[in-house]
């Protein structure tokens, strides 16, 4: 039985890091308090995400791999008020189409669970198996059946770099979740899950960097900003040092990056980027996340106003603490 197709997969599953992002987002949506990520050979050998969240009921496991079988939207109008990270129901079918997936999940505390094996979109195993509450998701041999895609993959180091970037941002966006991240068995990141973002900054950027950041605060009628920005001395050579979290979702946004840089412009030379973790909160109607399947790009309905707000909040913090 074929439950997915490869063509649609291309949009969601660009590289191993996209798989990690989708699986971790699902674990977050399932209200997990701890998430353990294991990667082998840049994710091309295996990607495993274990969570202690709500789990998937035995009878729903197979359905979860059908396109648009999301459990997260109850109404079309929800698309404009999205609070969960996932909502398209595209990730699991797309991933399963281009890899060998093994799912073990339980939605109960009685030890009963379900195991599924799907290879290249074909269901091979669907059986009862003992499992703790939560979900254990393994993706083996990514792109094994799409040689063109596989060939396009860069070195293990490059893919690992993309995955690490996803993991840093996910953990910064969710200080309340305890993450571990291992590559080829080596522990690369561990966060305590206490809710304290400063501890996550210490885990990601080092304890000395965490002593060089300033808390960000501000609000107006539409927006609230929190998080931390780095003193100019700990600026980086990569714009990846700027992380933007909107309503708990980490995003990429050129305009916000520019607003951050404008606030710093007298303090940093060109080609240096501040360490910044921005936490923006706004009514869901002010941000459209339904722009691209990866859900990483968003559109703000009052962009100009938001950019002024961000720039001014950062400038005020810098003025108070540095200038």
Q: In sequence order, which residues have a C-beta less than 8 Å from that of residue 163 and are 6 or more positions away? A: 16, 17, 20, 39, 42, 43, 183
Stretch that binds Mg ion, among 87-95, 154-162, 216-224, 302-310 (CB under 5 A): 87-95
| Residue of 34, 38, 72, 239 that binds ligand ADP (CB under 6 A) | 72
Place of tokens 């999940």: 105
Stretch that binds ligand ADP, among 48-56, 117-125, 164-172, 174-182 (CB under 6 A): 48-56
Burial class (CB in 10 A: 0-12, 13-18, 19+), 277: buried
Contact partner, 54, from ligand ADP, Mg ion, none, Cβ < 5-8 Å per class: ligand ADP
**Residue 91 sits in the site that holds Mg ion (CB under 5 A):** yes
Contact partner, 236, from Mg ion, ligand ADP, none, Cβ < 5-8 Å per class: none
Composition of the chain by helix, strand, coil, percent to 5: 35, 30, 35
**Residue 39 sits in the site that holds Mg ion (CB under 5 A):** no
**Residue 51 sits in the site that holds ligand ADP (CB under 6 A):** yes
Which among 166, 230, 228 is positioned nearest to 197, based on CA atoms? 228
**Residue 293 sits in the site that holds ligand ADP (CB under 6 A):** no
What are residue 227's DSSP bridge partners? 278
**Residue 64 sits in the site that holds ligand ADP (CB under 6 A):** yes
**Which residue's C-beta sits nearest to Mg ion?**
86
Contact call for residues 307 and 259 (beta carbons, < 8 A): yes
**Contact residues: ligand ADP, CB under 6 A:** 22, 26-27, 30, 51, 53-56, 64, 69-72, 86-92, 135
């Amino acid at each position: 039985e074929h439950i997915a197709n490869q063509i649609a997969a291309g949009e969601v599953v660009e590289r191993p890091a996209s798989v990690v992002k989708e699986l971790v987002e699902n674990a977050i949506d399932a209200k997990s308090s701890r998430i353990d990520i294991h990667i082998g050979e840049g994710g091309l050998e295996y990607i495993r995400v274990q969570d202690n969240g709500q789990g998937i009921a035995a009878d729903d496991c197979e359905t979860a791999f059908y396109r648009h079988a999301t459990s997260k939207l109850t109404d079309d109008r929800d698309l404009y008020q999205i609070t969960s990270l996932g909502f398209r129901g595209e990730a699991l079918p797309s991933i399963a189409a281009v890899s060998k997936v093994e799912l073990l999940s339980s939605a109960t505390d009685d030890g009963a669970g379900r195991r599924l094996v799907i290879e290249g979109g074909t269901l091979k195993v669907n059986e009862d198996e003992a499992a703790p509450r939560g979900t254990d998701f393994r993706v083996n041999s990514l792109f094994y059946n799409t040689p063109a895609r596989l060939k396009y993959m860069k070195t293990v180091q490059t893919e690992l770099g993309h995955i690490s970037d996803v993991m840093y941002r996910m953990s910064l966006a969710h200080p309340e979740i305890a993450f571990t991240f291992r590559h080829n068995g080596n522990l690369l990141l561990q966060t305590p899950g206490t809710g304290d973002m400063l501890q996550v900054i210490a885990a990601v950027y080092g304890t000395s960097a965490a002593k060089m950041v300033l808390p960000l605060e501000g609000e107006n009628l539409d927006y609230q900003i929190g998080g931390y920005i780095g003193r100019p001395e700990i600026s980086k050579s990569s714009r990846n040092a700027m992380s933007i979290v909107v309503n708990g979702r980490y995003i990429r946004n050129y305009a916000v990056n520019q607003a951050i840089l404008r606030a710093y412009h007298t303090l940093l030379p060109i080609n240096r980027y501040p360490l910044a973790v921005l936490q923006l909160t706004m009514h869901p109607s002010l941000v459209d996340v339904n722009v691209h399947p990866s859900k990483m790009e968003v559109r703000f309905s009052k962009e100009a106003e938001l950019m002024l707000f961000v720039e001014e909040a950062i400038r005020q913090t810098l003025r108070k603490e540095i200038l």
